[in-house]
Amino acid sequence: MTGIVDYGFYIPRYRIKVDEIASYWQRDGEEIKKSLSVEEKAVASHDEDVVTMAIEASAIVIQNLKHKEKIGAIFVGTETSPYAVKPISTMIGEWLDIPHHYLAYDTQFACKATTGALISANAMVKSKKVVNVLVCGADKANAKPQDILECTSGSGAVALLIGDTNVAVEIVDSTSFSSDTPDFWRRSMVSNPTHAGRFTGKPAYFHHITSSTNYILEKNKLRPEDFTYAVFHMPNGKFPIEVSRILGFSQQQIQKGLVVKKLGNSYTACALMGLVSVLEEAKEDDTIFLASYGSGAGSDAFILKVTKHIDSIRKNFKEKLDDVIYISYRQYQQFMGGGY
């Protein structure tokens, strides 16, 4: 058995309401909220970035780890790194005093960069190449002023320790579905991303998630009703609800992981943020379906099973979710490095 031995997460306290963003640009906040099914989003402060959030989440993971030297690899998924050339993974290792004999790299595949690294990490542990792998996803997502993405692009980080001892969440199986579908991108030396509007829906998000999901369910001879929970990547509040309906998952199965309404889309941390919300209440033998999505484009799908060790690592997600300081649009732009 291999899978998640421990986990940590970081949610910034600062939030901005969709109404506040809409009001600044003299737009209809109620219409936007109805369209996106998002009410507010988490915002990293001016002195926070991907590195600080990744370290905060990872520090929670290893605080009770007796043998840090057993961490044989550190992988970080992000699409908003403060460096064009310099890994975040080695910075995490240095700050957390992890002995230097580890493989380190950062991954890039839009919002599924971390789940891709998770598949690699699990394979390394399963093959006995390493004992533990630290996997972290973190983003301080940005958007052009007045772009609809301003209402959803959020901040946050999730870290997972993968191993084969005292596994709390077994990774039963995983698969990927990928294609060259350019629905969302950010060119080199450009600050904000560009997206292809409605093209990001049917041929991108929905096609890739349904393809990865149907394949892994058929491969394992499982049906949607065989799972206790389901978590899908959340670019907004409507897409995961719609894709769950298409695939045959119920609203009850996805409700606990649907955190985008309050947190926004934290890119590479987003799907995993839904997962850690589910782990707050999941019980032994519960099964979880997880499907990420990354523009460019691809989807990773996972079958997960909760074990008896979950109670020893459970974190209070709701407490952090409700610890909020609301900010104005001008403060938001200052935090994001803008001058509006």
Which of these is catalytic: 79, 195, 208, 309? 79
Report CA Rg, the chain: 19
CA distances from residue 331 to 21, 32, 340 in whole angstroms, order as listed: 11, 21, 9
CB atoms < 10 A from the CB of 87, how many? 16
The angle subtended at Cα 270 by Cα 172 and Cα 146, nearest 5°, is 155
Active-site position among 20, 56, 111, 151: 111
Over the range 225-246, which residues count as b (16 or more CB within 10 Å of their CB) and which as e? eebbbbbbbbbbbbbbbebbee
* Measured distance CA(292)–CA(137) in Å, rounded: 12
Nearest to 267 by CA among 143, 95, 133: 143
Is 101 among the catalytic positions? no
Residue with tokens 């709701």: 318
Report the distance separating Cα 143 and Cα 114, nearest Å: 21
Which position among 195, 208, 233, 309 bears the catalytic label? 233
Sign, CA torsion 257/142/117/7: negative
Residues catalogued as catalytic = 79, 111, 233
